[in-house]
Amino acid sequence: MKIIFFSAQTYDKTFFNKHNETFGFELEFFDTHLGPHIVHAITSAEAVCVFVNDKVNADVIKALAANGIKIIALRCAGFNNVDLEAAKKYGLKVCRVPAYSPEAVAEHTLAMILTLNRKIHKAYNRVREQNFSLKGLLGFNLHGKTVGVIGTGNIGKAFCRIMIGLGCNVMGHDLSEDQELKKIGVVYKSLNEVFSQSDIISLHCPLTPETHHLINRSTIVQMKQGVMLINTSRGKLINTTDSIEALKTGQIGYLGIDVYEQEEKLFFKDMSENIIDDDTIQRLMSFPNVLVTAHQAFFTAEALNEIALTTFENILQLSSGMEISHKGALLC
Ligand code: NAI
C-alpha cells in the first residue's frame, strides 16, 4: 500500500522511514503543501498523509477520491484544515493523532511563559555581548499568580498540572469539566471570569466556528492590564490586528504565539533570504514583549516517534477494515 506525504520535512522522513521498517508501506514524500495545485498529480496511492497547513477542502477531497485515495491521515491533532463533510460525501476515511505527546506542547507553553517573563531571549544575547547589566530584565514570580487555561483537553490538562506544580492558582474553562483536574485544585470558571481574573491566559481549545477570533478587541478589554497571553493552539483563535492594538496600549503586556493566523505562508520554511510580504507579523516581531515560535510546540523526539507510530497504526487498521484502536483518532 502506498502513502503519499505532503509538507514533508527532513525529520518527517527520518521518523516515518524508521517506523516503516516494521510496517512495510510504500512511502513517497513531497515537501509541497497538499492543495488544488498538486492534487491532480496524485496517482496509484491509497492514502495521503497531511499536516497542519495542508489545504484539504471539498475540491481537493473530490479530486483525491477521483484519483483513488481512500484514507486521509493527519499526522497532527488539530483537524480544522479538513472538510469532514466533504470526506463523508466522497467516502474517504479521515484519521488523526489525537494525543501523541500533550506534554511536548504543554512544556513549550511553559518555555514561552518563562522566556517572556524572565526575558531569557534578551539575557542570552546581552551576555554574549559582554553586557552583564540587569537593566530591563525584571520579571515576576509565577508562584501565586492566576493562570487561565481555555480548553482543558489533553494539552490543557498537562499544562494545568505543570502550573499547579509551580504554585499557581489555575482556572479552567471548557465545554466539560475534568474531574481529575478539579481534584488537584483547578477551578472551572466562565470565560468572562477567566478573562478578567487571570494574570496569564493560555489557549488550548481547538479552532472551531465558536472559537474563531475568541481573542478580539471586546474580549481583550475584559483582561487585566498587562496580561500575558499565550497561544500554542491555532493562529485564528486570536484576531492579530486587535492584539497589536492592545500591545501598543499595554493592555496586553506579553504575547507568546507558536501559531499565527497567516502562518501557512511562512512557518516551516527558511525565509531568511526573502522579503516577508506580511506586515502584520513584521509588526508583531518588532515588539520586545512578543515571542513568536514557528509552530514548534509539538517538536520533540518523543512526539515525532508517537506521531509516526500512531499514523501507521491508523492507516493499517483502516485499510484492513479493523476498528481504530486509538481513541478519538477516527474523524469520519
Ligand atoms: P483535545 O481535543 O484533547 O482538547 C481540546 C479541549 O478544548 C477539549 O477539552 C474541548 O472540550 C475544549 N473545547 C472545545 N471547544 C471549546 C470552547 N469553545 N471553549 C473552551 N473549550 C473548548 O485537544 P488537544 O490535544 O489538547 O489539542 C488542543 C489544540 O492544540 C488542538 O486543537 C490543536 O489546534 C493544538 N495543537 C497545537 C500543537 C502545536 O505544535 N502548537 C500541537 C498539537 C495540538
pLDDT tens for 303-315 read 999 999 999 999 9
For residue 104, CA distances in Å to 154, 295, 302 come to 11, 12, 8
CA-nearest residue for atom 27, ligand 1, is 155
Measured CA to CA, the distance from residue 196 to residue 305 in angstroms comes to 39
Say whether 75 is catalytic: no
Pocket test of ligand 1: the residue of 175, 258, 311, 326 to mutate, having most ligand atoms within 8 Å of its CB, is 175
What pLDDT is stored for residue 40 in this prediction? 86
- Ligand 1 midpoint to CA 205 (Å): 4
Supply the pTM of this predicted model.
Answer: 0.95
Q: Which numbered atom of ligand 1 lies nearest the CA of 205?
A: 7
214 C-beta closer than 6 A to ligand 1: no
> Annotated catalytic residue: which of 96, 234, 264, 326?
234
Q: How confident is the model at residue 41 (pLDDT cuts 50, 70, 90)?
A: confident
234 C-beta closer than 6 A to ligand 1: yes
Asked if pLDDT for residue 229 goes beyond 90, the answer is yes
- Grid coordinates of 142: 509565577
Q: Which numbered atom of ligand 1 lies nearest the CA of 299?
A: 40
What pLDDT is stored for residue 23 in this prediction? 97
pLDDT one-digit tens code per residue, 247-293: 999 999 999 999 999 999 999 999 999 999 999 999 999 999 999 99
Pocket test of ligand 1: the residue of 152, 205, 210, 213 to mutate, having most ligand atoms within 8 Å of its CB, is 205
Domain ranges for the chain: 2-100+300-319, 102-292
What is the pLDDT averaged over residues 15-25?
98
77 C-beta closer than 6 A to ligand 1: yes
In SS3 terms, 159-226 reads as: HHHHHHHCCCEEEEECCCCCHHHHHCCCEECCHHHHHHHCCEEEECCCCCCCCCCCECHHHHCCCCCC
What is the CATH number that goes with domain 2-100+300-319?
3.40.50.720
- Ligand 1 midpoint to CA 305 (Å): 21
What is the pLDDT averaged over residues 136-150?
98
pLDDT one-digit tens code per residue, 209-219: 999 999 999 99
295 C-beta closer than 6 A to ligand 1: yes
157 C-beta closer than 6 A to ligand 1: no
306 C-beta closer than 6 A to ligand 1: no
Q: Which numbered atom of ligand 1 lies nearest the CA of 259?
A: 41
Percent of the chain with pLDDT strictly greater than 90:
98
Asked if pLDDT for residue 202 goes beyond 90, the answer is yes
152 C-beta closer than 6 A to ligand 1: yes
Mean pLDDT of the residues in the chain: 97
Paired strand residues for 28: 4
3-state secondary structure of 50: strand
What pLDDT is stored for residue 43 in this prediction? 84
Measured CA to CA, the distance from residue 203 to residue 231 in angstroms comes to 5
What is the pLDDT averaged over residues 46-56?
96
Contact between residue 292 and residue 285 where contact means Cβ atoms under 8 Å apart = yes
Say whether 295 is catalytic: yes
pLDDT one-digit tens code per residue, 59-90: 999 999 999 999 999 999 999 999 999 999 99
Say whether 234 is catalytic: yes
What pLDDT is stored for residue 261 in this prediction? 96
What pLDDT is stored for residue 176 in this prediction? 97
- Ligand 1 midpoint to CA 296 (Å): 16
Domains 2-100+300-319 and 102-292 share a fold: yes
Asked if pLDDT for residue 7 goes beyond 90, the answer is yes
What pLDDT is stored for residue 59 in this prediction? 96
pLDDT one-digit tens code per residue, 165-180: 999 999 999 999 999 9
Measured CA to CA, the distance from residue 308 to residue 19 in angstroms comes to 7
49 C-beta closer than 6 A to ligand 1: no
Could you give the angle at which helices 102-118 and 301-319 cross, rounded to 10 degrees?
A: 150
Range 102-292 classified under CATH 3.40.50.720: yes
101 C-beta closer than 6 A to ligand 1: no
